[in-house]
Amino acid sequence: TGLKDVFKDDFLIGTAISNRTLETQDAELLALIAQEFNTITAENCMKSGEIQPAQGEWNWELADRFMAFGRENNMTMVGHALVWHSQTPSDLFVNASGEQVSRAELERRMVTHISTLMERYRGQVHIWDVVNEAIDEGKGWRNSPWFNIFGNADYMERAFQIAHEVDPNAQLLYNDYNMHNPEKRAFLVDVIRDYKQRGIPIHGVGLQGHVGLDFPDLGEFERSIVSYAEQGMRVHITELEVDVLPVAWDHIGAEISDEFEYSDELNPYADKLPSDIEARLTARYVEVFEMLLRHRDKIDRVSTWGTYDAESWKNDFPVKGRTNYPLLFDRQRKPKNAYHALSKLK
Ligand code: XIL
């Protein structure tokens, strides 16, 4: 048994599967994942830049392996992500002569991308992150090539409509980070209300949940869960982990990757995580799960963004080359104190 059994009456419990795991077919890690989790997300292999690196050129191998593993273990599969501004094909927004494509052409490419990908896994990928990170808190819609070429945010509702046409049984989510932010919450609530009125098929909201030891205020996180649920949305916690390293968290959402350069000061636990920080990590996971359990009626799924510390993207973001400890299994893939504490919550 594993975490999936601990929370079986509450929500699905998931993880993300990395490209490395799929490339090496890491049997030991895959066995651990099958034991602990009942839902998996494709960490990178279904992103548009990976699965369709150039228009019309498809790379199915890793995604097919991801699907095979999920099917063998009867898991709920999550496709991530159909429309995003990051990790896109190099030629998505330009034509052969390097000029920006028209709105009509971008829409055509979006239809082809969504329908080709979703048709291949129709009935097998149960949940799709249809649009990822389209809102910039404080500023409204993100200023992305999608937004600029369309001239407005219509690309988002088109993406939901197309996805629903291709697989009417799939659960369709809008996914984003910093979903506790009151401005972002208010903006998204208005979008959902408008979509509902006009019959745009959106079924749920994914709160990524990249949290730190003190960030964010869990009360705000909780208010967001309640607000989205009040709009008829199912809530998914899609990319949970607890960053233990010093970070200027209030810069999240800005051009962070350019702002933070590596320094030893920003990487204080390179050799070992001190026991007092480990205790805070455990307490933070417990606090987050206790809050989520209070809203189990609204929440379908809680997924961590990876399984063990060595493989977390948080070792390289928003500062490259650090030693972070954000997940439930350590670098030796052993369950951490946080894992044991969560197991005792029920
Ligand atoms: C991250 C992956 O974990 C990394 O391996 C990759 O290099 C960059 O993307 N929000 C998302 C995820 O929706 O797709 C991101 O995943 C993390 C932030």
The DSSP string of 86-132 is SS--TTTTB-TTSPBPPHHHHHHHHHHHHHHHHHHTTTTEEEEEEEE
Q: In this model, does residue 229 exceed pLDDT 50?
A: yes
Residue 255 has pLDDT above 60, yes or no: no
Q: Domain 3-343 belongs to what topology?
A: TIM Barrel (3.20.20)
What average pLDDT is seen over the chain? Answer: 95
- With cut-offs at 50, 70 and 90, classify the pLDDT of residue 251: very low
Query: Taking residues 235-260, what's their average pLDDT?
Result: 73
Q: How far is the CA of 16 from the centre of ligand 1 (A)?
A: 10
What are the residues whose beta carbons fall under 8 Å from the beta carbon of 120, sequence distance 6 or more?
60
Nearest atom within ligand 1 for CA of residue 47: 14
Task: For tokens 């191998």, name the residue.
Answer: 61
Active-site residue flag, 57: no
Contacts of 39 (CB under 8 A, 6+ apart): 12, 13, 14, 75, 76, 77, 78, 127, 301, 303
Measure CA 238 to chain center: 5
The pLDDT of 209-229, averaged and rounded, is: 96
Q: What is the pLDDT of residue 160?
A: 99
What value does the mean pLDDT take over residues 302-317?
97
* Å from CA of 43 to ligand 1 middle: 7
Distance 199 CA to ligand 1 centre (A): 30
Locate the ligand 1 atom nearest the alpha carbon of residue 18 and give its number.
5
Mean pLDDT of 269-297: 98
Please tell me the distance between residue 307's alpha carbon and the centre of ligand 1 in angstroms.
14
Which residue of the set 36, 107, 133, 278 is catalytic?
Answer: 133
Catalytic residue among 239, 241, 278, 311: 239
Lowest mean pLDDT among 158-172, 180-194, 244-258, 331-345: 244-258
Ligand 1 shell residues, CB under 6 Å: 43-44, 132, 208, 239, 313
Averaged over 276-287, what is the pLDDT? 98
Mean pLDDT within 245-274: 73
222: part of which helix (H) or strand (E)?
A: helix 218-230
Q: Is the pLDDT of residue 317 over 60?
A: yes
Q: Judging by DSSP bridges, how do beta strands 171-176 and 204-207 pair with one another?
A: parallel
Q: Is the pLDDT of residue 43 over 80?
A: yes
Which residue, by CA, sits nearest to atom 5 of ligand 1? 313
23, 48, 62, 239: residue to mutate for ligand 1 pocket, most atoms within 8 A of CB: 239
Distance CA(309)–CA(52), nearest Å, equals 29
The alpha carbon of 313 and the centre of ligand 1 are apart by a number of angstroms equal to 7
Instruction: Read off the pTM.
Output: 0.97
Instruction: Specify the higher pLDDT residue, 271 or 262.
Output: 271
Residue 19 contacts residue 45 (beta carbons within 8 Å): yes
pLDDT at residue 253 is higher than 70: no
Question: Is 238 a residue whose pLDDT tops 70?
Answer: yes
Percent of the chain at pLDDT above 70? Answer: 96
Q: How far apart are CA 137 and CA 76, in angstroms?
A: 31
> For residue 258, is pLDDT > 70?
no
The pLDDT of residue 248 is 54
> Does the pLDDT of residue 246 top 70, yes or no?
yes
pLDDT of the residue at 311: 97
Which residue owns the Cα nearest ligand 1 atom 7?
Answer: 313
In this prediction, residues 160-169 reach a mean pLDDT of 98
pLDDT for 138 equals 79
161's CB contacts (< 8 A; 6+ apart) are 200, 201
**Mean pLDDT value of segment 155-176:** 98
Average pLDDT over residues 42-63: 98
Q: Is 239 a catalytic residue?
A: yes
